[in-house]
Amino acid sequence: MLLLRYSRIFGGQKSDDPMTLRAYAKINLGLHVVGKRPDGYHNIETVFHQIDLFDEIEIVQSDEGPQFVSDVPGLPSDSSNLCIRAMNVLRDLTGCHSGVEITLRKRIPIGAGLGGGSTDAAAVLRGLVKLWNSDITDDELKTMSATLGSDVPYFLIGGTAYATGRGEVLEPCDLSVPYWILVVTPPLHVSTSWAYAKLSLAEGTRRLHIPTLLRASLKNPAKLREGLRNEFEPVVFDAYPEVRRIKQTLLDRGAALALMSGTGSSVFGFFEDEVAVRTLSDEFSLSCHVSVTKPLFNPEPN
């Protein structure tokens, strides 16, 4: 159980000691938009996969009211910040209004399709549940987290998961990626709402079941490239040719697969050759944010 897991992780920690959590980023191993829902959202199909890139969230009990600080100049500290919203929603649900100070050390690029805001919110929820010794159930926490963002429930469990619905219906996947993963994020922000507004939903589109495709073809690059797709790529590539160029460069330089994550602007590549990854990482780092994840990566438990 999720809460039991975190009780074991943080067991014995004093409430006045800082609690530091890693909030890992994700990539989307394929992304299909199945249709629009009556509530205005969209049903999607994707596989979320954690990578070795993370923000750090430090939480400590405070004698004063809630405080939030970060190392990102100009980052809002009001209710528009997902960390603050996560804290406020949990306070309302549990009735706990103890003072707390949250410090964010940001390493995941903002607005890059890597889930940076959502993973931070999930880390705040996990930390505060333990700090306040809340008896909130897993189902309550999951339901509440979905009000913060469609992918926040995923970041409560992490790892690799098949996601449907708005992204909140999750099925853990036993999938180990045997490639080096290079993620390249150019210095531009793609609005998720803009991307959805621009997307044309084709009726009767035939889509492969992503988990089945990954299990059958993960070690077959040709089939992986043929079958795995992100349906936002045409929209984003037309408006931001730089993102298209990054994907093509990764493929030209030996990537077994290259795909945009989320609604962009990050593009990731699967590589068998570490030297190629390190060389490309050095080249792209002159103009982009880059991260490298080793094969068979497994996040450290918080």
Known catalytic residues are 26, 151
Amino acid identity at 76: P
Element (H, E) at 100: strand 100-105
Q: Which of these, 261, 201, 229, lies nearest to 27 by C-alpha position?
A: 261
What is the distance, to the nearest Å, from the Cα of residue 59 to the centroid of all Cα atoms in its chain?
Answer: 21
Q: Provide the terminal-to-terminal Cα distance of the chain, rounded to the nearest Å.
A: 15
Please give the single-letter amino acid code of residue 100: V
How far is it, in rounded angstroms, from Cα 112 to Cα 184?
Answer: 10
Rg (CA), the chain: 19
* Contact by Cβ (8 Å): 35, 44: no
**77 upstream amide cis, omega within 30 of 0:** no
The phi, psi pair for 241, rounded to 5°, reads -55, -25
Residue 230 DSSP symbol: B
Q: How far apart are CA 143 and CA 130, in angstroms?
A: 18
The tally of CA atoms less than 13 A away on the side-chain side of residue 38 is 0
- Closest by alpha carbon to 270, among 208, 228, 213, 212? 228
Distance between CA 114 and CA 266 in Å, rounded? 7
